[in-house]
Amino acid sequence: MKRYALHIAGEAVAPHSGTWFDTQNPYTGEAWAHIPRGNAQDVDAAVQAAHQALTTGPWVEMTATQRGALMRKLGDLIARDAAQLAATEVRDNGKLFAEMNSQLAYIPQWFYYYGGLADKVQGATLPLDKKGYFAYTRHEPVGVVAAITPWNSPLLLLAWKLAPALAAGCTVVVKPSEFTSASTLEFAELFAEAGFPPGVFNVVTGFGAEVGTPLVEHPLVAKISFTGSDATGRLINERAGKLLKHTAMELGGKSPNIVFDDADLEQAAFGAISGIFAASGQTCIAGSRLLVQENIHDAFVQRLLAVARTARMGDPMSPDTQVGPVTTPPQYQKVLEYITIARSEGATAVLGGEKGNHDGTAPQCGQGWFVQPTIFTGVNNRMRIAQEEVFGPVLSVIPFKDEADALAIANDVRFGLAAAVWTRDIGRAIRMSDRLQAGTVWVNTYRAVSFMAPFGGYKDSGLGRENGIDAVREYLQTKAVWINSGAVAGNPFVLK
Comparing CA positions, the residue from 354, 271, 366 lying closest to residue 316 is 366
Contact present, 175 and 212 (Cβ < 8 Å): yes
The angle that helices 154-168 and 97-106 make with each other, rounded to 10 degrees, is 10
∠ Cα 463 466 469 (to 5°) = 120
Count CB neighbours of 398 within 10 A: 23
Q: Are 410 and 396 in contact (CB under 8 A)?
A: no
CA-CA distance, 433 to 420, in Å (whole number)?
8
385/230 Cα distance (integer angstroms) = 17
Which residues have C-beta within 8 Å of that of residue 464, sequence separation ≥ 6?
225, 247, 248, 249, 250, 456, 474
| Strand, helix or coil for residue 148 | strand
In terms of phi and psi (left: phi > 0; alpha: psi -120 to 50; beta: otherwise), the region of 361 is alpha
Q: Which amino acid is at 425?
A: D
Count of beta carbons in the 10 Å neighbourhood of residue 127: 6
Nearest to 481 by CA among 61, 65, 59, 128: 128
SS3 assignment, position 219: coil
The residues annotated as belonging to the active site are 250, 284
Give the residue ranges of DSSP H helices in 19-63: 40-55, 58-61
Give the CA angle between residues 38, 24, 151 to the nearest 5°: 65
CA distance 209 to 465: 27
Q: Report which residue type is found at 280.
A: S
Distance in Å from the first CA to the final CA of the chain: 69
